[in-house]
Amino acid sequence: MKSLSILAAFLGGAVVGAAAGVLFAPERGEDTRNKIVDALRKRGIKLSRTEMEDLVDEIAAEVKE
């Protein structure tokens, strides 16, 4: 059980780190969101557009703090 939580924390950190890197790239917001969606889909994570926008907003707020 402990190894599962460590793996989940690692994967969560990797996703947040990748998203933060993409958010700081000098591109339009729509292009950035599309890159995030593509990266998540490659890992088997499927989100609706509203879920994805919420996730991007949440990550952006965390990065700004």
Tens of pLDDT along 4-34?
677 778 878 888 887 777 677 676 777 777 7
Tell me: pLDDT of 37 over 60.
Answer: yes
Question: What is the token pair recorded at 7?
Answer: 């793996």
Share of the chain above pLDDT 70, in %: 85
What is the span of the domain harbouring residue 42?
2-64
Count the domains in the chain.
1
Residue 45: per-residue pLDDT:
76
Report pLDDT digits (tens) over 41-63. Answer: 888 877 777 887 787 778 777 77
* Res 1: pLDDT: 53
Look at the pTM and tell me if it is higher than 0.85.
no
